[in-house]
């Protein structure tokens, strides 16, 4: 068994700690895509600490796409197509800007930028939680343009656009299932567009990244199944508070 494990790790070019981090990441990606989306914010800084900034995004992206497929299938009857495509042109501008920035900065700056983006997104989550029912979302055109551009940039640099896009969807007043389905399709499209950028411009994705995502498919599926179950049962407010605290600590670690 020990020999098989060592061979498996050698084949994937992972240490035992890195393998454990990727397994946890795959599980939480599945859970976040069908359940509580804030969980994903926790794994991004942990993965960046284990693999480095830019390399971590190359490992995470194929796993995210697997999670996106589960989410789109699970909520396929609740997708609002018009609301998916409305912010896409602006998100592409942010995506292109993020691709250029990620190309010219070194890995240490990349890690710090991931931390800044995550803390910014956490600020949005904390503010909306604090305001509660008193939170009013802007409805002007400038808001949708800004939300699209920031979503594209944040997802390109740190795969951390969830909170920003969530505010956009809140402005549209979507119900829970419509919210999940619309977000799932949006991120499936945007994550698919990131693949050629990371292969040909950033050079941080290759066959190994897709092989790793394939190996981790059962973990993603397990997380997705649990997410579908938990979202109907859990006190989501308490859970979000826990995720916010844990993610803040993980993001701050990137600055040390």
pLDDT, tens digit (0-9, with 9 covering 90-100), for 21-54: 999 999 999 998 988 777 888 888 889 888 988 8
Question: Distance of alpha carbon 5 from its chain centroid, rounded?
Answer: 29
pLDDT band of residue 1 (cuts 50, 70, 90) is very low
pLDDT of residue 256: 66
DSSP structure string for 185-209: HHHHHHHHHHHHHHHHTS----HHH
Pick the closest to residue 22 from 154, 160, 213, 205 (CA basis): 213
Could you give the angle at the alpha carbon of 14 between the alpha carbons of 9 and 19, nearest 5°? Answer: 85
More confident residue, 144 or 18: 18
Structural domain count, the chain: 1
CA angle in degrees (0–180, nearest 5) for 219-161-40: 25
Q: Which domain holds residue 41?
A: 2-253
Of the listed ranges 17-26, 112-121, 163-172, 224-233, the least confidently predicted one is: 163-172
Q: Which residues contact 79 (CB under 8 A, 6 or more apart)?
A: 72, 178, 181, 182, 184, 185
Pick the range with the lowest mean pLDDT from 4-13, 54-63, 103-112, 175-184.
4-13
- Residue 85 above 80 pLDDT? yes
Give the pTM: 0.87
The percent of residues above 70 in pLDDT, for the chain, comes to 90
Angle between helices 16-34 and 39-51 (to 10 degrees): 160
Q: What is the pLDDT of residues 47-73, one digit of tens each?
A: 988 898 889 999 999 999 999 999 999
Q: What is the mean pLDDT of the chain?
A: 85
Which residue has 């942010």 as its token pair?
Answer: 94
């Amino acid at each position: 068994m020990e020999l098989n494990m060592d061979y498996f790790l050698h084949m994937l070019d992972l240490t035992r700690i890195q393998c454990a981090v990727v397994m946890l990441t795959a599980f939480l990606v599945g859970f976040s895509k069908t359940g509580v989306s804030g969980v994903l914010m926790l794994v991004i800084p942990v993965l960046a600490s284990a693999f480095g900034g830019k390399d971590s995004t190359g490992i995470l992206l194929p796993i995210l796409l697997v999670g996106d497929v589960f989410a789109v299938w699970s909520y396929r009857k609740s997708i609002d197509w018009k609301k998916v495509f409305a912010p896409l042109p602006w998100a592409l501008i942010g995506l292109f800007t993020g691709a250029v920035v990620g190309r010219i900065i070194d890995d240490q700056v990349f890690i710090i930028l991931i931390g800044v983006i995550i803390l910014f997104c956490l600020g949005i989550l904390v503010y909306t939680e604090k305001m509660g029912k008193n939170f009013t979302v802007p409805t002007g055109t400038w808001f949708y343009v800004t939300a699209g551009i920031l979503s594209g940039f944040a997802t390109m640099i740190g795969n951390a656009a969830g909170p920003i896009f969530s505010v956009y969807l809140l402005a549209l007043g979507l119900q829970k299932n419509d919210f999940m389905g619309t977000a799932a399709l949006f991120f499936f499209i945007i994550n698919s567009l990131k693949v050629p950028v990371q292969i040909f411009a950033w050079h941080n994705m290759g066959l190994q990244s897709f092989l790793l995502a394939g190996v981790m498919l059962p973990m993603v599926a397990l997380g997705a199944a649990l997410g579908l179950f938990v979202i109907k049962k859990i006190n989501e407010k308490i859970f979000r508070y826990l995720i916010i605290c844990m993610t803040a600590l993980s993001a701050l670690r990137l600055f040390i």
